[in-house]
Amino acid sequence: MKLDDLPGVMTIEADVYPHPWTRGNFLDSLYSGYETWTLRDASGELVGYFLMMLAVDEVHLLNITVRRGLHGKGYGRMQLDKAAQLAREKDMTSILLEVRPSNERALAVYQRYGYVQIGRRKGYYPAADNTREDAIVMRFAL
């Protein structure tokens, strides 16, 4: 992901999530040197992206997103494959992520891929009506 990708990333982010990352979140991640990747279709149109932070021997997958209308077509799995490849190249041992329990589609993708639940973070995500939603913490061993 490059600065030039941010307009497209922000459009997808705002369309997919009720509480999207801000431009500042993405800029902070880019300036911090986090691993990023963008997925494009044959015409060069942005399909998805992810950002991950390396910490000692494991990766924290901070954001992985596929454009609305393209869910269920294997793009999420392609991104998980790429994240695992990059993590292995950096000699990491596992990938961690958080997912909303209400995001059943993503949860199913992660479980099919081999991620296992290792915990729960209470009140992690902002939710509707000024409430909070837990996060399921998942781990994938490389």
* DSSP assignment string, 3-45: GGGHHHHHHHHHHH-SSPPPHHHHHHHHHTT-EEEEEE-TT--
Determine which one of 34, 110, 115, 125 is catalytic.
Answer: 110
Tokens 């509480």 map to which residue? 19
Does 110 participate in catalysis according to the annotation?
A: yes
Confidence of residue 128 (pLDDT cuts 50, 70, 90): confident
Determine which one of 98, 113, 124, 133 is catalytic.
Answer: 98
Percent of the chain with pLDDT over 90: 96
CA distance 128 to 43: 36
Tokens 């961690």 map to which residue? 96
Sketch out the chain's domains with CATH numbers. 3-141 (3.40.630.30)
Let me know: does 1 contact 30? Beta carbons within 8 Å: yes
pLDDT tens digit string along 11-35? 999 999 989 999 999 999 999 999 9
pTM of the model: 0.93
25 is in an annotated binding site: no
